[in-house]
């Protein structure tokens, strides 16, 4: 099961209405079973509803559709953003979710929208995702505050199966190596998965702003070895630099969770069925009813 976080710069109706950008975003999201988008600016929800509709009309998504779960807009002053999850509902179910709120301090400019998923086909059956978009001007303090966020999620959901993912702004002038290594979330039981030399930006620099961090050895062991990396969509889709940057200034970061042997056997059986009788499979697909669900936290 492939999971990703993608900071899509200023994702709203303007980008969704651009056919070329929309096509590439759909291709990117379709690579995953579960993806959380950051820097979404869609207070009415109409842009993401349109994106979900178009997403579910794309190739295999017609028979393997996504649902959507969105936070409310968060942020200081007039600049507010949403975290939006897209997940394949035949693989994954939303168990619970909540908006994290700081009690005594206002450290985090955009408090995480924390979601617990049931993943019956993976080694880890329940998974909590904590998406982040760290303020670059206060990266050290915000990243240090994430340890409290994780403890709150552990207490709330009574699980250690936790993954923090998103735009950490954890490189370059925002955070040096020494400061990063001194963070609470840089010590055990945390594990940082993205290689320090990975380039997660479409720009001229080669910084590793975007990260995936898991809590505990069980979560670390459930990750497929060497699967955590950025997805360079510019190279994969043979895009020019200008086109790539019009999609976003970041690449998605992705990781694969190990699936169970039972699910592997099920996939093998389905593959054999398609190969031996493709017309029957196509007939079955055409008769399926598809439902799309958009949930906005209230």
Please state the domain count of the chain. Answer: 1
| Bridge-based pairing state of the strands 229-230 and 253-256 | antiparallel
Residue spans of the chain under pLDDT 50: 262-263, 280-298
Residue 190 confidence (pLDDT): 98
Q: In what order do the strands lie in the sheet with 82-88?
A: 229-230, 253-256, 2-11, 34-40, 82-88, 66-70, 294-296
CA distance 29 to 123: 23
Residue 269 confidence (pLDDT): 54
Cis? peptide before 189, omega within 30° of 0: yes
Residue 271 confidence (pLDDT): 59
Structural domain range at position 276 = 2-296
* Tens of pLDDT, residues 211-234: 999 999 999 999 999 999 999 999
Enter the pTM of the model: 0.87
Residue 77 confidence (pLDDT): 85
137: left (phi over 0), alpha (psi -120 to 50) or beta: alpha
Query: CATH number for the domain including 177?
Result: 3.60.10.10
Residue 2 confidence (pLDDT): 98
Cite the active site residues.
81, 133
């Amino acid at each position: 099961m492939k999971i990703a976080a993608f900071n899509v710069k200023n994702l709203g109706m303007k980008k969704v209405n651009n056919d070329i950008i929309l096509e590439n975003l759909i291709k990117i999201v379709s690579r995953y079973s579960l993806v959380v988008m950051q820097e979404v600016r869609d207070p009415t929800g109409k842009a993401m509803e349109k994106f979900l509709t178009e997403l579910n009309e794309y190739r295999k998504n017609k028979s393997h559709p996504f649902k959507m779960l969105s936070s409310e807009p968060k942020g200081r002053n007039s600049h507010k953003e949403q975290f939006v999850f897209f997940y394949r509902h035949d693989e994954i179910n939303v168990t619970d979710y909540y908006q994290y709120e700081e009690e005594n301090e206002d450290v985090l400019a955009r408090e995480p929208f924390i979601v617990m998923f049931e993943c019956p086909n993976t080694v880890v059956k329940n998974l909590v995702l904590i998406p982040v978009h760290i303020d670059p001007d206060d990266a050290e303090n915000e990243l240090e505050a994430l340890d409290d966020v994780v403890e709150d999620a552990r207490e709330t959901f009574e699980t250690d199966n936790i993954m923090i993912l998103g735009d950490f702004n954890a490189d370059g002038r925002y955070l040096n190596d020494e400061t990063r290594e001194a963070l609470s979330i840089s010590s055990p039981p945390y594990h940082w998965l993205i290689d320090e030399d990975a380039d997660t930006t479409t720009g001229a620099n080669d910084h590793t702003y975007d990260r995936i961090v898991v809590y505990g050895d069980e979560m670390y062991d459930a990750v497929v070895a060497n699967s955590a990396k950025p997805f360079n969509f510019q190279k994969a889709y043979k895009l020019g630099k200008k086109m790539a940057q019009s999609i976003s200034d970041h690449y998605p970061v992705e990781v694969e969770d190990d699936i169970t042997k039972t699910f592997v056997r099920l996939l093998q059986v389905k593959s054999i069925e398609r190969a031996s009788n493709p017309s029957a499979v196509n007939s079955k697909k055409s008769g399926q009813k598809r439902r799309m669900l958009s949930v906005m936290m209230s």
